[in-house]
Amino acid sequence: METTLARGAHTTAPPLLQVDSVTLAFGGVRALSGVGFAVQPGSITAVIGPNGAGKTSLFNTISGFYRPSKGSIRFKGQDITRIPAPQRARMGLGRSFQNIALFRGMTVLDNIKLGRHAHLQTNVFDALLYWGRARREEAELRRDIEERIIDFLEIDHIRHAPVSALSYGLQKRVEMARALAMQPEILMLDEPVAGMNREETEDMARFILDVRAEWGVTVLMVEHDMGMVMDLSDHVVVLNFGQVIAQGVPAVVQADPEVGRAYLGSGNVDELRAKLRAAAGAAA
């Protein structure tokens, strides 16, 4: 795996996404407590933390599925805390899900097209009135998908295959394709390499780096594979019990004893890394 852009190269620009003092509770359970961090444009930012730390809750709050009881989320300088999820997607927050959320009986192409529909200007009623515009949009949609995303993710050979026939690694790639079809400014990836073998993980890491380098898409991911997080990320945010316990460049986070304690009860992140790699190998 290689990192193509210098780390920390984007830290002076105004943040693309700003999460500020976000608190979220489910009944008596505080999933997030005063969480704050910024995502710089063009960066790869990773959120890590032990099971139950609040990573999925945070992702759901940023993408608009949950509304925080306190705090705010700003995207491109605009407060989006009260904006519904579909509108956030149209504004440029595209995401994938931890457990594959593809339509298994549908083809790869149809699944990807569903992502792009978030952006179509034409709704059903408009379509009846402005049939020509709808057709033009459909044609543009197909071209965009076929020429850019499918080629880019090297899934041309499976475009007409039902998703159910694909390996897990390919399904995750299709999910990324669907998120990209939303033309996001921030691509939010929820555990992009979970359950993948080493080769699939390295392929996905390459796609993540390329999507940033070639398309200028900013990446925010939740990921358990510590090796990948440390190799790819410009900025790492560590959650534990719903709070940010450390954040910074990978080397700083890796050296933080509290991060090690949060995972293992020791200060040894290298051990954690080895364990996670072994677990990923065993799952393959």
Interface with ligand ATP by CB under 6 A: which residues? 26, 29, 31, 49, 51-57
Q: Return the number of the residue (166 or 236) whose C-beta is nearest ligand ATP.
A: 236
Phi/psi zone of residue 247: left (φ > 0), alpha (ψ -120 to 50 degrees), beta? beta
Q: Minimum distance between the CB of residue 29 and ligand ATP, rounded to whole angstroms? A: 5
- Count the residues in the chain: 284
Rounded to whole angstroms, how far apart are CA atoms 10 and 119? Answer: 28
Smallest distance, ligand ATP to C-beta of residue 250, A: 19
72 vs 98, beta carbon nearer ligand ATP: 98
Is the Cβ of residue 177 or residue 246 nearer to ligand ATP in the bound state? 246
Min dist CB 46 to ligand ATP, Å, is 13
Q: What's the token pair of residue 173?
A: 């790639």
CB of 100 vs ligand ATP, minimal distance in Å: 15
* Residues 221, 226, 232, 233, Cα dihedral to 10°: 60
Sign of CA dihedral 145, 147, 152, 155: positive
In the bound state with ligand ATP, the residue whose beta carbon lies nearer, of 71 and 92, is 71
Closest approach, Cβ 170 to ligand ATP, in A, equals 23
Nearest residue (CB) to ligand ATP, 97 versus 145: 97
243-248 vs 235-240, strand pairing mode: antiparallel
**Which residues share a beta bridge with 52?**
none
Strand, helix or coil for residue 116: helix
